[in-house]
Amino acid sequence: MLCVSKVPAGDFEVLEVEVAKNAKRRQNAEEQAFLAAYDASRFPHPSLSVDVALVTADEIGLRAVLIKRGEHPDRGKWSLPGGFVGIEESLDDAASRVLATKVGVRGIFLEQLYTFGDPDRDPRTRVVTVAYYALVDSGKLAAVGDHESVTLATLDVPWKGETGGRVSVTDDSGKRLKLAFDHADVMGLVVQRLRGKLDYAPIGFELLPRKFTLRQLQEIHETILGRSLNKDSFRRRMLATGLITASGEMEKNVGHRPAELYRFKRSARRKHGGK
């Protein structure tokens, strides 16, 4: 009779662990060999860029920072602040860098909007751009127009509600500005996104001071929507959202009856990127 020695269960567990380790080593070695021999030039590489719609609202309307192009293609036309993404740079870092170097704005909340990849959107080569948008208090952009190649343009939205589509822009004199590439589409999508978020997100917290009146909040909403709102129903709706709370303070140094000041709740700010 053949006698088979009994192997302790613990030894089987050790053996299984060792077999698994050896298999993982072989797999890692095979992958390293594959990567070392991989020829990335076999496939065409599209260029990757970021474009940032830096948007604010003031007494004139909904506004965006534009830069006049000094080089071909589209030299002399106006574009959103943008640039190519570095080979070891994240998309968010690239967007922040573009704003810092081209507009002088730092430390603001950015949100990805959409990826635009029409093959013919840039005549130089195949360029895919990741568009971002940011909302800022108009006071932070007070000096933007000091340079002839940078302007704070007014958005002219030809459609109602969330229809969507291209938008045009004008300068302070009302002159229509020619836009580069597909940036009229980019800004149109920004407006569409903002209008869609008004009912559930604290859009105004980046466009208003930390404490504000309901009148100021309504004006921001009207500017984004491009239409007037009923005062009483707007206030009821805003208070019912749970996004704002009374500060316990009143306006000061105003030429009319002081209004109560409100603020966005901390939880709403954190959820939507505020500080």
Domain 210-271 in the same topology as domain 47-197: no
- Residue environment code for 180-202, b if the CB has 16+ CB neighbours within 10 A, otherwise e: bbbbbbbbbbbbbbbbeeeeebb
State the DSSP code for 257: P
| pLDDT the model gives residue 17 | 81
Tell me which CATH code domain 210-271 carries: 1.10.10.10
Tokens representing 169? 């822009």
CATH of domain 47-197: 3.90.79.10
Strand partners, 54: 134
- pLDDT attached to residue 257: 85
- What is the pLDDT, as a whole number, of residue 148? 80
Q: Give the Cα separation of 267 and 113 in Å (integer).
A: 23
Query: Looking at residue 81, what is its pLDDT?
Result: 97
Q: Which residues of the chain have pLDDT under 50?
A: 275
Q: 32 phi and psi, to 5 degrees?
A: -65, -40
Q: What is the pLDDT of residues 145-182, one digit of tens each?
A: 667 899 999 999 999 999 999 999 999 999 999 999 99
37 phi and psi angles, rounded to 5 deg? -95, -5
Q: What is the pLDDT of residue 10?
A: 63
How high is the pLDDT of residue 67?
96
Long-range contacts, 114-121 (Cβ 8 Å, 24+):
114/186, 114/189, 116/182, 116/185, 116/186, 117/46, 118/182, 121/181, 121/182
DSSP single-letter state for residue 170: E
Q: Model's pTM, two decimal places?
A: 0.84
Residues 6+ apart with CB under 8 A from 74: 180, 181
With 0-12 CB in 10 A as exposed, 13-18 as middle and 19+ as buried, what is 84? middle
What is the distance between the alpha carbons of residues 96 and 108, in angstroms, rounded to a whole number? 8
Which residue, among 152, 270, 112, has the nearest Cα to 205 in the 3D structure?
Answer: 270
Which DSSP letter does residue 272 get? T
Domain boundaries, the chain: 47-197, 210-271
pLDDT at 2: 54
96 CB contacts (<8 Å, ≥6 apart)? 106, 110
Specify the pLDDT at position 134.
93
**Whole-number Å distance between alpha carbons of 267 and 275:** 10
- Return contacts of 181-185, CB within 8 angstroms, 24+ apart: 181/74, 181/79, 181/121, 181/122, 182/116, 182/118, 182/121, 183/51, 183/78, 183/79, 183/80, 185/116
